[in-house]
Structure 1
C-alpha cells in the first residue's frame, strides 16, 4: 500500500525515532518541526500501526527514481535512499534501509542464501533481532581465512544469529590453488550437496564487488592486485559471490573462476528473490554488469547511483 502524502511526515518521524534511535528533539531538528509535532506524529504512528518494518521501508520504495529503476531494468522492487545533505548520509543509511527491507522479505520456514562483503556485514550489523522459526541461512560461496569481520562465514552466522536461524557454513575455501583441485573438491559429497542446495533458497542477499585494488578478493588475500588487474584487462567488470563477471553479466572465462568454489550462476538466478545492495559510488560499472546479467530482482541503492544508472541507460538507448 502506498504512503498517502499526508502521512509522509509521520513515517519520516517514526523512521528516525524508532529505527535510528534519535531523541524527539533530534527528530524535530532533522525535520524542521516542533518537538510537540514530533510527539503527536509518533503517537499517530503507534495508533495507526505505521511503526512496522514494511511501512517504514515504503519511504524509500515510493520514490519516483525507484519506479524509473524498476521500469528501466525490469526489477521487482527498488528502494532509493535520497542524498540529502540535511539528513543522514545515504551511504550510512543504506545498510539500515536494506536491513529493514531484508527483514520484511524473510518469513519463517525459509532458506536464505548469503554472500559476503563489507556491505553485507554492515546490513547484518544494522539488522534488528527477529524471532523466526525454522529459518536456515546458508553461505553462497567458499570461505576465506583472512581475519576480517566480513568474510563469508562471519556474514552468514551473524545474520543467522539476528534471525534466530540455523547457519550453515561452506566447508571449503573460496579459491583453490589449481583448477584440478577445485574440480575434485566440488565432487566431494558434502560440497556437492551444499552447491546443489543453493537453488532451493527462497531469498538471496548479496552485493556486487569492484575489480580493482579495493576488491574483497584482494583485501582478503584470495588474489593479488596484479592478478585482479590482469583479469580486468581480460574483461572483468564485477564480482558476484567471489566470481568474476564481464560487462554483460556473464561468467568470465578465466582460470581464476575455474578455481573458485561458489554457487553456479544458474542456481543463483533460480532463487526467486535476489536482493542486491550497493552503497559505494565506485560500483557503477559492477552494478551495470550485475543488472545486465539479471542477478537482482530487488535492489537498494543511493539516489545518486540510481540517477547515474538511468543516465547511462538513456545514453545507451540513444546510441543504439
Structure 2
C-alpha cells in the first residue's frame, strides 16, 4: 500500500517510488528542521520507516538537502592568519575557548610546547618567563635528546611564592630535565626595594652567570599579565605597580609594565630581561588566554614583544574587534 502526498503516490514497498520535490522538502523539513524521528514522520504520513529513509536519501541525492561539515580547525586557521598579518607575527596558534581556566591553560600549554619544539636548534639558549601558562607549556614538552647543548635560563627573578604559583627556577629545572639541557638559575627576587641592594645583587657572579645569557636568547617563552589588575598578594609587585601608576598600566611582560599602546613604563630595580634583549631573540612565544586578558594581549602585541602568539579563539576575536 502507499500514501497520497501532494497528489503523488508514494509507495512504501520495494517497487518503484514516484516522488516530487514538495514531498521531499516536506519530509526533509520534518527530519532536519523540526527534528522529528523517522518513526514520527512515518506515523504522521502513514508510511513505513524504510520509505521515510528512502525519501531522505533521495532528497540528498537530488540536492534538496546538503550536508556541510564545519571543521573548527579551519575557522581557527583563518583567525590565526588574520592575527599574524595584523601584527606582523611570525606565527600564531589558537585553541578553542572555554569557561574552565585549568583546561584552557592546558590547551594553551600544549600549543605553546608544539611551537617551541618545532623552532629549537642545537645550542640554543631558551628563556623561561613566569606565569601559569608558561608552566603549562613546560609541562607539555615531550622529552627529547635531539637538541644537544641547550641551556635553559629564567627571564626574571622570582616572586615570593605566596600565591601558590610555580617558582620560576623550578619551571626552568623541569624544562631542562625534559629537554636534556643545562639549567642556569637566578636566585634573586623580581622586585628589589633598595637601590644599593639591587646594585650588589646584579654584580654578583652567580647572578651574572644567568643575566649574561639574556643577550644570547634563541627562544623565549613568556606570559602576559593584566598589569593593572592586582591578582596577587605579593607586596613587592603591588609596590612596583603603584610606583609607576596603576592607571597607566595595561599589561605586564616579564615583570615590566606596559601601557595601552605597547610602550614600556620604566620602573625601578626589576630583575628581568630587558625588552631590547627580548626583541633581539630569534623567537619569543607569548602564551596567554582568557577573554579578560584580551586588552593586555593587545598591548603586548602593539609593543612587538613577541614573534609568535598562542591564545584562544575568544581572545583572537576580541583583539581583532578592538583594532577594527
Do both proteins adopt the same fold according to a TM-score greater than 0.5, normalized to the shorter chain? yes
Q: 2:143 aligns with which of 129, 151, 162?
A: 129
Deviates more, 1:166-175 or 1:182-191: 182-191
CA distance in 1, matches of 2:114, 2:75: 12
Shift of residue 185, structure 1, vs aligned partner = 2.5
Aligned residue number for residue 78 of structure 1: 92
Instruction: Give the alignment's TM-score, normalised by structure 1.
Output: 0.70
| Corresponding position of 1:262 | 272
- Please name the residue that 2:287 is paired with: 277
Q: CA deviation at 1:291?
A: 0.8
- Which of 240, 248, 260 is the aligned partner of 2:261? 248
Query: Using the alignment, how far apart are the partners of 1:159 and 1:150 within structure 2?
Result: 13
Determine which of 172, 176, 179 is the counterpart of 2:192: 176
Q: CA RMSD in A?
A: 2.6
More helix by share: 1
Separation in 1, partners of 2:140, 2:75: 19
* Structure ID, larger Rg: 2
Aligned 8 A contact 2:83 2:92 in 1: yes
Q: Equivalent residue of 1:222, what SS?
A: helix
User: What is the CA distance between 1:272 and its match in structure 2?
Assistant: 1.4
Matched, 1:97 2:117: no
Secondary structure, counterpart of 1:300 in structure 2:
strand
- Measure, in 1, the Cα distance between the counterparts of 2:114 and 2:234: 28
- Partners of 1:222 and 1:310 in 2: how far apart? 34
Deviation at 1:189, TM superposition (A): 4.0
User: Structure 2: how far apart are the matches of 1:228 and 1:193?
Assistant: 28
Q: Which aligned pairs between 1:41-52 and structure 2 lie closer than 5 A?
A: none
The answer to whether the Cα contact below 8 Å between 2:116 and 2:219 also exists between their aligned partners in 1 is no
Distance 1:230 1:172, change over 3 A: closer
Q: Does 1:237 align with 2:250?
A: yes
Unaligned runs of 5+ in 1: 1-58, 315-320
Query: Within the alignment, does 1:293 sit opposite 2:306 as a pair?
Result: no
SS in 2 for 1:275: strand
Q: 1:189 to 1:69 in 2, by over 3 A?
A: same
Cα contact 1:211–1:236 (8 A) shared by 2: yes
1:7-26 to structure 2, matched below 5 A, reads none
Indicate conservation of the 8 Å contact 1:249/1:289, yes or no: yes
- Tell me, yes or no, if the aligned pair for 1:182 and 1:258 is still in contact at 8 Å: no
Stretch deviating more after TM superposition (202-211 or 279-288): 279-288
SS in 2 for 1:223: helix
Distance in 1 separating the partners of 2:106 and 2:182: 28
Alignment of 1:134-213 (within 5 A): 134-146=149-161, 148-213=164-229
Q: Could you tell me how far 1:181 is from its partner in structure 2?
A: 2.4
C-alpha distance 286-83 of structure 1, shift in aligned 2 (>3 A) = closer
Report what 1:305 is aligned to. Answer: 315
Alignment correspondent of 1:14: none
Conserved? CA contact 2:224–2:288, under 8 Å: yes
Partners of 2:75 and 2:307 lie apart in 1 by 14
Distance in 2 (CA, whole Å) between partners of 1:234 and 1:293 is: 18
